[in-house]
A = this chain, B = another copy of it.
Amino acid sequence: MTDIPELQERLRDFAERRDWKQFHSPKNLSMALIVEAGELAEHFQWLTQDESFNLPDDKLQDVGEELADIFVYLVRLADQLGIDLPEAVDRKIALNEAKYPADLVRGSAKKYSEY
């Protein structure tokens, strides 16, 4: 993929050629996304934090696929709702810069540590 608008178009085309638009309501896509997020979390559920940094190669491959699945549903959902995803990300980061000033929250996960 080169960028998000191009990916968005590619996925829309993929769904249309399969006549899947009928299934891709925002409601259904939000379910599909969280289902994939569950498959992602499954890889980590019994690991320690340290272990979660050091996945064996085959597991890393699987995790990469889950990330891709989530990404795809994210882009489909933004497309179906007419949301400009890159713009939404920019806006959210600006909000978080203001909400969590670096010198005030350093090293604390209290209520912060969004990202």
Task: Identify 15 new A-B residue pairs, CB closer than 8 A, beyond the known A27-B49, A28-B45.
Answer: A1-B86, A10-B93, A11-B93, A14-B93, A18-B106, A20-B112, A23-B113, A27-B44, A35-B39, A63-B83, A65-B91, A67-B74, A67-B88, A69-B92, A74-B74
Tell me which residues across on chain B come within 8 A of A64, comparing CB atoms: 78, 83, 88, 91
Tell me which residues across on chain B come within 8 A of A91, comparing CB atoms: 64-65, 68
Count of chain A residues near B, Cβ 8 A? 81
The A contact surface, by secondary structure, is helix
17 example contacts (A-B, Cβ-Cβ < 8 A) are as follows A14-B115, A23-B109, A24-B115, A25-B52, A26-B55, A27-B49, A27-B52, A28-B49, A30-B41, A30-B44, A33-B40, A35-B42, A38-B42, A64-B83, A68-B88, A71-B88, A72-B92
